[in-house]
Amino acid sequence: MSTLHPYQDRKRLKWMGFYLSEHTAQIDSNSLKNNIEINGKNDMSSQEIANVLEEALIKDKSVTIQTNQLVNHSFLPDVIGKIKGYNEEGLFIEESFVAYEEIKHIEICQHHNWFDLD
């Protein structure tokens, strides 16, 4: 008579360990990104902001907007994209809404092509 050994699925345990290590690495990566301090850009006047917005709309260019919102003494990441629409309260940049009074700095995005060597 032989003794039966209980089946141990080592592959599943190994996979769960791999999943856990990837999850931990992702959390560490996110915490590093969140700890980056973003410095403020120069404040722009309403007229300067309007000039950049006009150029972006006429030439269908992407913009980079820094808002005046602070979190833990650091500015939020810039909102980047094309202006999809606007109303009397603010702009629709891709999927985001930015109120006019929240705009601290705006500039036209300078896209670099992959084939440019500079």
Contact 101, 67 (CB under 8 A): no
Host domain of residue 13 = 9-37
Q: Is residue 2 part of a domain?
A: no
Give the phi and the psi of residue 20 in degrees, each rounded to 5.
Answer: -65, -40
Q: Once rounded to an integer, what is the mean pLDDT over residues 62-84?
A: 91
**17-31, 53-67, 80-94: segment of lowest average pLDDT:** 17-31
Q: Return the pLDDT at 59.
A: 93
Whether residue 100 contacts residue 56, with contact meaning beta carbons closer than 8 Å, is answered with: no
Residues 99-105 have a mean pLDDT of: 94
Indicate whether 79 and 101 sit together in one domain. yes
Whether residue 19 is found in the same domain as residue 72 = no
Average pLDDT, the chain: 82
pLDDT at 11 over 70: no
